[in-house]
């Protein structure tokens, strides 16, 4: 299996830059999710990798085989890339078996065994092989599209928001099935999505894109807990950013004071002075009045398993924060509670 490398890839449309100097590395057999708001250029990046578009500059290589750059341009049909577009894009005039076998040599197609293996791989019953695409549900179409992409044993599989058109319930199940099939096929996969839950739960590596730049690439946990800047933090989930003041002693003890009380610093950079730190709503713990920092409960959104509690911190700042608490112990609006921050908080590097 093959790893994928992009070096300094840029692309503009009619003078408007869409991608700036993208560097991305996806190790062999890894699952990378490219996460970004719509219009950030992530689909363009996928189409560059697939060979449907050509970059203005940079290199794209599969392992050490350069497919674009240095005067080389391997056409899409010779790149051995599996491509799963939005809504599947199955060939409407072919049945499931013919769709899956489309990229296989004629002799293999006739055997028919591979089709059944592939159907099993994506978790579909063999009886579906004679169905036409319009007779399949959205989730089934996506799985057939994946099987079709995997059939010729591609070096890289690209998925362009494949679950965006599915219902919420179906989305998680299909996503897991697809990720499992990709792992079993030992494929190197790149998934493009604007859904942070999908990116965090399915991928080994999450790459965040913004305005045509790749801002940060790391493991899901690292990127959620130690985002590079406030923008990335906001994009990955609800976040509270508070001012903290750090002196050398704080650096040493690993603790600092904030409007939400004392916090433990996660990671370390050598800055001192005023800085901004990230607190996730699930890090705020509510306790009895009198303990921690007093705050007034203004509004509660109850979801059953948990609840979002909006609070106004008493004191000079009148800071408004949202806490995510378990559904078992939810305060009522108007109540005054105490709050404290658990776990480590990330301090943003002011140079970002």
Partner 1 sequence: MSVSGQVIEALLPAGGRARRGSWRQSHPPTLVAFAVLVVLLALIPLFFVVGYTVDMGWAQLREMVWRPRVGELLVNTTRLTVGCVLASAVIGTGAAWLVERTTLPGKRLWHVLLTAPLAVPAFVNSFGWVSITPKVEGFGGALLIVTLSYYPLVYLPVTASLRGLDPALEETAQSLGLGPWRAFARVVLPQLRPALLGGGLLVGLHLLAEFGALQMLRYPTFTTAIYDQYRSTFSGPAATALAGVLVICCVILLTVELRLRGKQRYARVGRGTARALRPRPLGRLTAPSLLAVLAVVVLAIGVPMGSLVHWLVVGTSTTFPVGDLLVTGGTSVGLAAAAALLTTVLALPVAWLAVRHRSAVTTGLERSTYFGNALPGIVVALALVTVSLKFFSPVYQTVWLLVAAYAIVSLPRAMVSVKAALVQAPPLLEDVAHSLGRGPLETFRRVTVPLIAPGLGVSAALVFLAVVTELTATLLLAPIGTRTLATQFWSNSSSVAYGAAAPYAALMVLISMPATLVLTHATSRRSSAS
Q: Under a CB-based contact definition with an 8 Å cutoff, are residues 140 and 124 in contact?
A: yes
In DSSP terms, 326 is beta-bridged to 306
Distances (CA, A) of 287 to 18, 168, 280, 284, 313: 48, 34, 17, 10, 14
Considering CB under 8 A, how many residues would be counted as binding partner 1? 40
Q: Is 294 helix (H, G, I), strand (E, B) or coil?
A: strand
CA–CA distance, 81 with 204 (Å, rounded to integer): 20
Who contacts 23 (Cβ-Cβ below 8 Å, separation ≥6)?
Answer: 6, 7, 8, 9, 214
List the interface residues with partner 1, window 99-118 (CB under 8 A). 102-103
Residue 18: φ, ψ to 5°: -115, -35
Q: Which is nearer to partner 1, 81 or 200 (CB)?
A: 81
CB of 43 vs partner 1, minimal distance in Å: 9
List the interface residues with partner 1, window 46-85 (CB under 8 A). 47, 50-54, 75-83, 85
Query: What is the per-residue binding string for partner 1 in 180-219, x denoting contact by CB under 8 A?
Result: -------------------------------xx-------
Q: Which is nearer to partner 1, 159 or 341 (CB)?
A: 159
Bridge-based pairing state of the strands 284-287 and 293-302:
unpaired
CB of 170 vs partner 1, minimal distance in Å: 18
CB of 152 vs partner 1, minimal distance in Å: 6
| 227 lies in the binding site for partner 1 (CB under 8 A) | no
Q: Is 250 helix (H, G, I), strand (E, B) or coil?
A: helix
Please state, as a whole number, how many other Cβ atoms lie within 10 Å of the Cβ of residue 293. Answer: 21
Q: Which is nearer to partner 1, 54 or 57 (CB)?
A: 54
Q: Which is nearer to partner 1, 93 or 305 (CB)?
A: 93
Half-sphere exposure of 186 (CA within 13 A, CB side): 4
List the interface residues with partner 1, window 308-347 (CB under 8 A). none
Q: Which residues bind partner 1 (CB under 8 A)?
A: 12-14, 16-19, 39-41, 44, 47, 50-54, 75-83, 85, 89, 91-93, 102-103, 148-149, 151-152, 154, 211-212
């Amino acid at each position: 299996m093959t790893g994928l490398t992009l070096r300094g890839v840029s692309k503009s449309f009619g003078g408007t830059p869409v991608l700036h100097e993208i560097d991305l590395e996806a190790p062999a057999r890894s699952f990378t999710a490219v996460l970004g708001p719509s219009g950030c250029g992530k689909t363009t990046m996928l189409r560059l990798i697939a060979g449907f578009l050509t970059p203005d500059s940079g290199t794209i290589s599969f392992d050490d085989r350069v497919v674009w750059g240095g005067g080389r341009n391997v056409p899409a049909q010779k790149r051995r890339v599996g491509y799963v577009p939005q809504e599947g894009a199955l060939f409407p005039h072919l049945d499931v078996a013919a769709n899956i076998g489309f990229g296989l040599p004629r002799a293999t197609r006739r055997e028919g065994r591979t089709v059944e293996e592939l159907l099993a791989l994506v978790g579909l019953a063999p009886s579906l092989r004679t169905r036409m695409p319009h007779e399949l549900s959205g989730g089934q179409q996506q799985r057939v599209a994946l099987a079709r992409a995997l059939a010729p044993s591609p070096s890289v599989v690209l998925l362009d928001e494949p679950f965006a058109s599915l219902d919420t319930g179906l989305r998680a199940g299909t996503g897991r099935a697809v990720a499992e099939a990709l792992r079993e096929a030992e494929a190197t996969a790149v998934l493009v999505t604007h859904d942070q839950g999908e990116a965090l739960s399915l991928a080994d590596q999450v790459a965040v894109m913004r305005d045509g730049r790749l801002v940060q690439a790391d493991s899901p946990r690292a990127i959620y807990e130690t985002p590079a800047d406030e923008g990335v933090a906001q994009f990955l989930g609800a976040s509270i950013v508070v001012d903290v003041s750090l002196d050398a002693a704080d650096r040493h003890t690993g603790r600092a004071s904030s409007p939400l009380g004392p916090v433990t610093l996660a990671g370390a950079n050598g800055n001192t002075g005023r800085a901004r730190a990230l607190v996730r709503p699930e890090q705020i713990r509510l306790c009895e009045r009198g303990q921690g920092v007093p705050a007034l409960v203004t509004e509660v959104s109850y979801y059953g398993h948990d609840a979002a509690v909006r609070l106004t911190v008493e004191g000079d700042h009148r800071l408004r924060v949202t806490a995510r608490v378990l559904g078992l112990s939810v305060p009522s609006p108007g109540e005054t509670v105490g709050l404290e921050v658990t776990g480590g908080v990330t301090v943003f590097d002011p140079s970002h």
